[in-house]
Amino acid sequence: MTETIHVRGEGGAIIAMDLPLPEPIAKRLERGQLARVNADGSPHYGAPAPASAPARGSALTEGDVPRPNARAGKDDWVLWAVAVHALPEAEAEAMTKAQLQELPEQPKAGRATDGHPDEDAPKAEWVDHIVRKGLLSREDAEAYTKDDLIAMVT
């Protein structure tokens, strides 16, 4: 039997989708452009859908997101910086490809291994993290306190 999830699209419509998700939809969900919700549109707080794209790298990389090669496009470098360094997507996109390539292989000290910001990071970083995880839409995440956002992922 196919598992079905509900996703809030960019226009706000609630769409039922069968798993596994098509790759373009899964990528948009990972980036926070779409949000997983319950059938009634309320925020979904459960574990991510197991059949959607993996939260980290493949089994071949044992959970590590591989660094793109030097000839990879900027989009690949942005995705890598967001996944490995937990940079807000807008911040990573504002960087040049050369700046992204200068980032170290591993995240800088102070970042948690699961990619969430430090507890003393500004609320905006926590909003970006919650949206990127697909837990809430940006509008909904901004309505929560920083402490509530932290509690959702810790």
pTM value?
A: 0.35
Residue 145 lies in a domain: no
Residue 123 lies in a domain: no
User: What pLDDT digit, counting tens, does each position of 21-37 carry?
Assistant: 888 888 888 887 888 88
DSSP string covering 72-105: S-HHHHHHHHHHHH---HHHHHHS-HHHHHHS-S
User: What pLDDT digit, counting tens, does each position of 112-130 carry?
Assistant: 446 778 888 888 888 888 8
Residue 130 lies in a domain: no
pLDDT score for 15: 85
Asked if 34 contacts 28 with a C-beta cutoff of 8 angstroms, the reply is yes
pLDDT score for 36: 86
Residue 12's pLDDT band (boundaries 50, 70, 90)?
confident
Asked if pLDDT for residue 96 goes beyond 50, the answer is: yes
Asked if pLDDT for residue 64 goes beyond 70, the answer is: no
Residue 141 lies in a domain: no
Backbone angles phi, psi at 37, to 5 degrees: -135, 170
Mean pLDDT value across residues 76-85: 84
Asked if pLDDT for residue 111 goes beyond 70, the answer is: no
Residue 39 lies in a domain: no
Residue 153 lies in a domain: no
* CA dihedral sign of residues 56, 58, 60, 66: negative
Residue 14 lies in a domain: no
Residue 59's pLDDT band (boundaries 50, 70, 90)?
very low
Nearest to 88 by CA among 120, 53, 124, 60: 124
Number of domains within the chain: 1
144 to each of 7, 99, 126, how far by Cα in Å?
Answer: 20, 33, 10
Residue 74 lies in a domain: yes
Residue span of the structural domain in which 78 resides: 57-113
